[in-house]
């Protein structure tokens, strides 16, 4: 008679964690990921610029007007392609995370983390690259001339007479929470794989498809 494996509940828990990570990414997509504060004497209350996967928020229009005076391009020109592809990127990360959790073999457990790790790293790297590009392609005919610069992406910085402060927001933290969820899933999956009777012969793919295995009672 066929019965469930003793660790079958744990296997479903691992799959459930990957689904939780998908939910976290879906919510992260809808939330702002980064925020910039700008302080100057003429703006005692400061200006706020929010960066989301889908666009800009806060005082983006006012910041663009100020950037015009120093010859910086409009911020809405940054990452236009990335914003269009963001929803597909989140969907791909979600699909890969669930698929890899189900199908990857014991020796390749760590691969499950790559989509979850790569997405926030890509966001940070892409954002810093755009900030550098905008700060180093100033219009030489702008009303105000300042040296080229790269705005600080984390913590305090200074641009002309403005002091800036940048920090991550809920979208980025939710992405990190999804990464932590997948890290726990990989840890638990490793425990399951070590006890699996097929572990010695396990290759690139899981013969049990994680939750598909059954044991035979004798």
Domain 2-193, CATH: 1.20.140
- Average pLDDT of the chain is 89
Whether 81 and 93 have beta carbons less than 8 Å apart is answered as: no
List the Cα angle 150/152/157 in 5-degree steps. Answer: 105
For the cut 80, the answer to whether the pLDDT of residue 137 exceeds it is yes
Rounded to an integer, what distance in angstroms lies between the CA atom of residue 68 and that of residue 142? 7
Specify the pLDDT at position 138: 93
Phi and psi angles of residue 50, each rounded to the nearest 5 degrees, phi first = -105, 135
Q: Span 8-31, mean pLDDT?
A: 94
Specify the pLDDT at position 5: 63
**Residue, of 141 and 177, whose pLDDT is higher:** 177
For the cut 80, the answer to whether the pLDDT of residue 214 exceeds it is no
Q: Span 52-72, mean pLDDT?
A: 92
For the chain, what percent of residues have pLDDT higher than 90? 66
Identify the band that residue 218 occupies on the pLDDT scale cut at 50, 70 and 90: very low
Identify the band that residue 215 occupies on the pLDDT scale cut at 50, 70 and 90: very low
Q: For the chain, what's the residue count? A: 218
Specify the pLDDT at position 213: 57
């Amino acid at each position: 008679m066929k019965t469930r494996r003793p660790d079958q509940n744990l296997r479903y828990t691992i799959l459930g964690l990957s689904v939780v990570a998908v939910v976290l990414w879906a919510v992260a997509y809808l939330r702002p990921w980064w925020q910039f504060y700008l302080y100057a004497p003429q703006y005692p209350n400061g200006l706020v610029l929010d960066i989301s996967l889908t666009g800009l928020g806060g005082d983006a229009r006012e910041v663009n007007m100020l950037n015009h005076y120093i010859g910086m391009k409009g911020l809405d020109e940054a990452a236009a392609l990335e914003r269009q592809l963001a929803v597909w990127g989140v969907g791909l990360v979600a699909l890969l995370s669930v698929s890899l959790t189900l199908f990857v073999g014991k020796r390749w457990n760590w691969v499950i983390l790559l989509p979850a790790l790569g997405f926030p790293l890509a966001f940070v790297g892409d954002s810093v690259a755009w900030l550098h590009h905008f700060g180093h392609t100033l219009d030489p005919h702008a009303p105000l001339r300042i040296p080229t610069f790269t705005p600080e992406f984390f913590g305090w910085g200074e641009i002309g007479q403005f002091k800036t402060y940048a920090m991550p927001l809920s979208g980025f933290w939710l992405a990190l929470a999804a990464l932590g969820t997948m890290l726990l899933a990989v840890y638990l999956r490793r425990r399951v794989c070590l006890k699996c009777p097929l572990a010695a012969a396990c290759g690139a793919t899981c013969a049990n498809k994680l939750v598909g295995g059954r044991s035979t009672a004798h």
